[in-house]
A and B are shown apart, each in its own frame.
Chain A
Amino acid sequence: EAQVTQNPRYLITVTGKKLTVTCSQNMNHEYMSWYRQDPGLGLRQIYYSMNVEVTDKGDVPEGYKVSRKEKRNFPLILESPSPNQTSLYFCASSEDQPSYNEQFFGPGTRLTVL
């Protein structure tokens, strides 16, 4: 089954404790990205990757890191999480850039930073 998986689905942590949210896709997609969704706001892109070893900032990259060492994986790293990073996070992938390709989203990771 074609899918995007994220782990963990739920995470409660404390300020400053480094964490990683994993994302994996099995569709051989070139493009992957991370979004956050906050109450009353739409999805905002954090980082995206056009291909292996190619990543770039989205609209809200501050406080986040990503890596793309393999085509299928695109982990999101919070080196020193803060309460304002409490949010719902979605990973997404598409065959190519999202301009003409639908994105497939993972189920989401609900992160709470205390």
Chain B
Amino acid sequence: DQQVKQNSPSLSVQEGRISILNCDYTNSMFDYFLWYKKYPAEGPTFLISISSIKDKNEDGRFTVFLNKSAKHLSLHIVPSQPGDSAVYFCAAIGGSYIPTFGRGTSLIVHP
């Protein structure tokens, strides 16, 4: 049973517009959430994170929103750039030291 779900396998956005990537989770014990970006033939790289005591965290063009009651988080990229084209993984961590990853969303930003 998937505890972290990224229901959109892919997303296509025009350059300059907003990209919104979504992630849902089921385990209420998760208290820390991270987004990783992955380019082909490379390992994932950390992008941004949020603790469950916050509902928003911002870093430049990237903002993560957390809605604990809905068990939902989203990553906003504004404005989107072609270099943002990658696979984005949502990850959640709870009481154990084992991060649970979603299946990823492939973002394509068209020039």
Contact = CB atoms under 8 A, between A and B. Distances in A.
Interface of A: 4, 31, 35, 40-45, 48, 50, 56, 58-59, 90, 92, 97-100, 102-108
Contacts of A97: 97
Interface residues of B, number: 25
Contacts of B43: 4, 90, 92, 105-108
Nearest to B45: A105
Nearest to B34: A102
A92 B34 CA distance: 15
B98 A58 contact: yes
B78 to A, nearest CB: 22
A42 B34 contact: no
A9 to B, nearest CB: 9
A102 B46 contact: yes
A50 B97 contact: yes
B70 interface: no
Nearest to B51: A100
Contact of A99 (B6, B36, B97, B104): B97
Contact of A105 (B44, B51, B97, B98): B44
B97 A48 contact: yes
Nearest to A110: B41
A23 B25 CA distance: 31
Contact of B99 (A40, A50, A98): A98
Contact of A108 (B32, B42, B99): B42
19 contacts: A40-B103, A42-B103, A43-B91, A45-B98, A48-B97, A48-B98, A58-B98, A59-B100, A90-B43, A98-B93, A99-B31, A100-B32, A102-B49, A103-B46, A105-B43, A105-B44, A107-B41, A107-B43, A108-B41
Contacts of B99: 45, 98, 103
Interface in B1-56: 4, 6, 31-32, 34, 36, 41-46, 49, 51
